[in-house]
């Protein structure tokens, strides 16, 4: 789990760079084995983006989206990102990068079209206790709302579109099938 916050940070930094630029054909490309290659886009699927990255020699695949609404506004809050990650060693890790630090032992709730799932927190992230069930619900839902305690204890609600989640999820499962972590 320690690597997930670092991956989320890398994701947030690299996300604006994921779509290919119009100069991609003329720019030199780093070798595929380069350790500095960073995240590689799989594709954009409506409101979701799918990508891969190397982590300790393993290919990690993830799909992510940014909140399209948050209430109340939290001054100085960073990006709010919902991510589903596939690894050979762990499937369907669902995480929220909150953009602020949670109080110790805070808990949250993720609702997909009225079906609720428990979250636990660690520093600036919240994680689904049952990632597989959440990923299945995300694939059939229209909207996800995550409610967590804010920096001053007031509840913060972040709303995410699920348009494009199903094909983004299919893409990351295809690129990182179970048991296929080394490349």
- Domain CATH number, residue 107: 2.60.40.1880
Residue 25 has pLDDT above 60, yes or no: no
Determine, yes or no, domain membership for 36. Answer: no
Q: Are 66 and 81 in contact (CB under 8 A)?
A: yes
Does pTM surpass 0.85?
no
Please count the structural domains in the chain: 1
Q: Is residue 120 part of a domain?
A: yes
Rg over alpha carbons for the chain, rounded to the nearest Å, is: 16
Please state whether beta strands 125-128 and 143-149 pair in parallel, antiparallel, or not at all (unpaired): unpaired
Helix (H, G, I), strand (E, B) or coil at 5: helix
Q: Is residue 11 part of a domain?
A: yes
Q: Which of 93, 75, 82, 78 is nearest to 2 (CA)?
A: 93
CA distance to 5, 9, 32, 134, 170, per residue, from 183 (Å):
23, 23, 11, 28, 20
In a domain, 155, yes or no: yes
Continuous H helices in 81-140:
131-140
Residue 29, domain member (yes or no): no
Across 13-17, 21-25, 33-37, which has the greatest mean pLDDT? 33-37
Asked, for residue 23, whether it belongs to a domain, the answer is no
What is the domain range of residue 155?
3-16+41-71+82-175
Among 11-15, 35-39, 98-102, top mean pLDDT goes to: 98-102
| Inside any domain, residue 56 | yes
- pLDDT value, residue 180: 54
Give the span between the Cα atoms of 136 and 130, in whole angstroms. 10
* Any domain includes 139: yes
User: Residue 8 has what pLDDT?
Assistant: 42
pLDDT digits (tens, 9 = 90+) for 165-183: 999 999 999 999 987 544 4
The alpha carbon of 172 is separated from its chain's Cα centroid by a whole number of angstroms, namely 12
């Amino acid at each position: 789990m320690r690597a997930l916050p670092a991956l989320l940070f890398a994701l947030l930094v690299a996300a604006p760079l994921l779509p290919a630029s119009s100069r991609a054909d003329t720019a030199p490309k780093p070798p595929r084995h380069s350790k500095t290659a960073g995240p590689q886009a799989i594709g954009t699927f409506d409101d979701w983006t799918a990508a891969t990255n190397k982590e300790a020699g393993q290919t990690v695949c993830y799909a992510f989206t940014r909140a399209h609404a948050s209430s109340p506004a939290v001054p100085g809050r960073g990006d709010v990102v919902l991510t589903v990650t596939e690894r050979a060693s762990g499937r369907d890790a669902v995480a929220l990068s909150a953009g602020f630090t949670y109080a110790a032992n805070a808990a949250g709730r993720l609702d997909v079209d009225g079906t609720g799932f428990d979250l636990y927190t660690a520093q600036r992230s919240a994680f689904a206790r049952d990632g597989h069930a959440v990923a299945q619900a995300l694939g059939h839902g229209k909207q996800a709302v995550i409610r967590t305690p804010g920096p001053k204890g007031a509840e913060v609600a972040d709303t995410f579109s699920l348009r494009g989640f199903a094909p983004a999820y299919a893409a990351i499962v295809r690129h990182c099938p179970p048991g296929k972590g080394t490349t």
